Structure 1
């Protein structure tokens, strides 16, 4: 992995990006920008690099400026005032996140997820936690996870707000054990299973015995040991055994057998305090091996040495993965 100097062309490209996306650039400024692009090949190359980093969040930049007038200008000025990204890492990291349209709160959120702070139990970035529940069950949370625990005389219920958990269920024939997500609920019929809450769907996999899945729209499925499904409110899709459905994260590792690099990056994100971005081309690179979750810089460095990819770090808060040119 490499630390990147912000050369004059790149600094100018960042400045142009903010000016053009602020919504305040006049036609004459856009003509000047076109002339700047055509002036030197390195200007076009710098612009393509910057646009590649910022292209996904650019739609949000104007709304960021409307919510916090002057934020983009302040971020640009502070970032461009430094000739390297290495010094003052925390400040530079926050500014990079501002440039990505995320705002100061996201700097904090990347360390401790804000939406999990009010949950009964939660984990920070890079943290795993095992909780002994009142009934004797054992609940383990992956990094950046949050749950609410609601035990009553008639039911044991765990609401998974975010992230991933595995539960070893203690027997109690009078009180079923249920893990609920935004898309449905998984009821234990045995002892050990895993549930993940994703942005648009959930995933359940069973390590021992079986579970009963009920989606919000009334679909039902029994899932046995060794099986996994992803589910929305109205659909259930069986999953083949991959790193995504395994519980290797309990041991701080992830094992891939001819799977896309995007799968590994997805597993690493909860352990990476900064923003981790991967290009579509790099996402399709096939990966074999066992990788550590607890030292993401070393894992990414190993990948860069063994795969046809390059990993570039802009301070501690932004890491880009792309194929080698």
Structure 2
């Protein structure tokens, strides 16, 4: 996930939505909220936007909790009983905040990524979106992605806050087309390429023609059709073709050829509302095949039928994948 931070007003608005929707807000808290709302027109604008975006996810989560009493507690116990390496990874997942009773923000973030709420364009969990930009370029966002679009007289710039995009660039000799990430920028020299923003690095791959990569540390590289590189501010690493560098997600699938199962699970996570966790032993299993992204439950069940896997589900909150003992 990108390290992009929400502005303080938006963060306060999210906090108020979660507190008021919890059903535990007292009358004094509601009075404080009314005062906050009236204090600044920007507060009201942020509240309206955030409340509108989070209304349906919160309602869905509350409905699930009513339909599946006890599942939340079971999921919490399963995470805490998981062997140490997996538990360490699980603790990094924001959804555990709710599983441990520390707040609802983590679960809501699994439906509507909170870091992307104020982006110009964003997608939720399991959602892909194609946008036609003002210059005629076509921008497609993978699930849980967010971008800011900054067009001027001298440049067309897309800032990738988090997630993954592919762009089909319309020709414009006077305005270069650039996709910027936390680690550098990719400038189009042709028409079609993909960029992914990871936690500590970015990835760029080219489907047609070429791009120019410039890292924040001053490194440069031209990337040609069929090539892919991962990069940080101070390092560029060519990548062999794998599911990470392919754009099969545009068609709602991921194709793997002798890759670890962890690669498939990573591709499925942006499409899974709850936590999707895999043990180290299961993660190392090798996988071949084409797998759908839009029905993660079906994909995981199919894996359990063809691989020595045990899949345990705790309602919608948590799915744990381990080797069958």
Write the distance in 1 (CA, Å) between the matches of 2:268 and 2:205.
20
Task: Give the TM-score, by structure 1 length.
Answer: 0.73
By how many angstroms is 1:100 displaced? Answer: 5.0
Structure 2 residues without counterparts, runs of 5 or longer: 1-67
Provide, for residues 162-210 of structure 1, a one-character-per-residue CA deviation record: whole Å limited to 9, x for no partner. Answer: 0000000000000000000000000000000000000000000000000
Write the distance in 2 (CA, Å) between the matches of 1:58 and 1:279.
11
Q: 1:171 to 1:157 in 2, by over 3 A?
A: same
State whether residues 200 and 232 of structure 1, in contact with CA within 8 Å, keep that contact through their aligned partners in structure 2.
Answer: yes
Write the distance in 1 (CA, Å) between the matches of 2:224 and 2:109.
36
Give secondary structure in 2 for the equivalent of 1:110.
helix
Count of aligned residue pairs for this structure pair: 256
In structure 2, the residue matched to 1:165 is 165
Write the distance in 2 (CA, Å) between the matches of 1:5 and 1:54.
25
By how many angstroms is 1:98 displaced? Answer: 2.6
In structure 1, the residue matched to 2:27 is none
Give secondary structure in 1 for the equivalent of 2:111.
coil
Task: Give the TM-score, by structure 2 length.
Answer: 0.73
Structure 1 residues without counterparts, runs of 5 or longer: 15-45, 65-93
Candidates 47, 55, 64, aligned match of 2:87: 55
Write the distance in 1 (CA, Å) between the matches of 2:187 and 2:130.
20
In structure 1, the residue matched to 2:210 is 210
State whether residues 167 and 194 of structure 1, in contact with CA within 8 Å, keep that contact through their aligned partners in structure 2.
Answer: yes
In structure 2, the residue matched to 1:38 is none
Higher relative contact order by CA 8 Å / sep ≥ 6: 1 or 2? 1
Give secondary structure in 2 for the equivalent of 1:55.
helix
Provide, for residues 77-119 of structure 1, a one-character-per-residue CA deviation record: whole Å limited to 9, x for no partner. Answer: xxxxxxxxxxxxxxxxx8x653357731011100000011100
State whether residues 277 and 321 of structure 1, in contact with CA within 8 Å, keep that contact through their aligned partners in structure 2.
Answer: yes
In angstroms, what is the RMSD of aligned CA positions? 2.8
By how many angstroms is 1:308 displaced? Answer: 1.1
By how many angstroms is 1:56 displaced? Answer: 1.2
Q: 1:102 to 1:144 in 2, by over 3 A?
A: farther
